Structure 1
Amino acid sequence: MDPVTLETTRLMLRTFTLADVDAVYEACQDQAIQHYTPVPVPYRRTDAEQLIGEKLPAQWAEDRDYTLGAFRKDTGALVGSYCLTLVSRGVWELGYWAVREQRGRGYSVEAARALCDWGWATLDAHRIEWWAMVGNTASRAVAEKLGFTVEGTLRKRSIANDGTPHDWWVGGLLRP
Structure 2
Amino acid sequence: MSKEEKISQWFFEYSDDIYQFLLYKLGSPDVEDLVQEVFIRALKSLKTFKGNSSPKTWLYSIARNIAIDEIRKRKREKWKSLLLLDNEQSTNMSPEELYFLSEEHKVLIATIYSLKSNYQDVLIMRGMKELTVEETANILGWTEERVRSTHYRAKQALHAKLGGDSVE
Q: Normalising by structure 1, what TM-score?
A: 0.30
Select the structure that is richer in helix: 2
Q: Which has the larger radius of gyration?
A: 2
Which structure: greater strand fraction? 1
